Amino acid sequence: MAQPAGYRGARPGRLDPMADEPTEIFDDLYLGLRAGGALRKQRRGEPLTAEEQEALGRWRRLSPWRKAFALGAFAVGTFGLGFTLGGLVFGRWRKA
């Protein structure tokens, strides 16, 4: 018997609870960067724009596991980029 589209072995008639929410990691990363900038401005006492307030609100509503995943992905990506560039700059192949 053919399975309906989107069927992943769950009971029929049951929907995935995350189906309506986009799970793009790049969206979460960008949101975190915007919210971080807004928090920095807020700590300095500078007025926030409507876009910055919206970014802060969305970041605060984001689930803790998605925040952790976005921060972890940013850290791993930054480390990987630094490790790669460091290897190219200070690698054995380069003559001092």
Query: Residue 2: pLDDT above 70?
Result: no
pLDDT at 29: 87
Q: What digits encode the pLDDT tens for the residues 27-50?
A: 888 899 999 999 999 999 999 999
Digit-coded pLDDT (tens) for 50-88: 999 999 999 999 899 989 988 888 888 888 888 888 888
Sorted by sequence, the CB contacts under 8 Å of residue 19 that are 6+ apart come out as: none
23 pLDDT above the threshold of 80:
no
Cα–Cα distance, 25 to 67 (Å, whole number):
10
pLDDT surpassing 80 at residue 94: no
